[in-house]
Amino acid sequence: MQFVVHALDQIDAGPRRAAAIAAHRDYLSTAPEQHEVTVLLSGPLVSDDEQQMIGSFFLLDAPDRGAVDALFADDPMRCANVWSDYTVTTVRIRQNNMTSTQGMSE
């Protein structure tokens, strides 16, 4: 099953995000496999002018919602109280045109 995780930052989360980002990246390098989750796409949500990170986006493949919840229970961004609104939604992928990394950045 595929899931979209959409997590918006709290208004004052900038310093907490900066402090947690390295641990968040390290966590995502090993934790998904431990929970039988595959991160298909992920990245920060950004303001329209692309100058500020305002949240996080994930497209995941997981056996069930419980695996997704277990993965994010210990995510350093969540533990550091960076996200104000965190939603997980099941999605059925009907179209996928992600054939290149054009336009992608770190």
Q: Over the stretch 10-32, which tens digit does the pLDDT of each residue have?
A: 999 999 999 999 999 999 999 99
Tens of pLDDT, residue by residue over 84-94, are 988 999 999 89
The CATH number of the structural domain formed by 2-91 is: 3.30.70.1060
Q: Where are the domains of the chain?
A: 2-91
List of residues 6+ apart from 103 with CB closer than 8 A: none
Mean residue pLDDT across the chain: 92
Q: pTM for this structure?
A: 0.86
- What pLDDT score does 85 carry? 86
Query: Rounded to whole angstroms, how far apart are CA atoms 81 and 13?
Result: 8
Q: How far is CA 72 from the centre of its chain?
A: 9
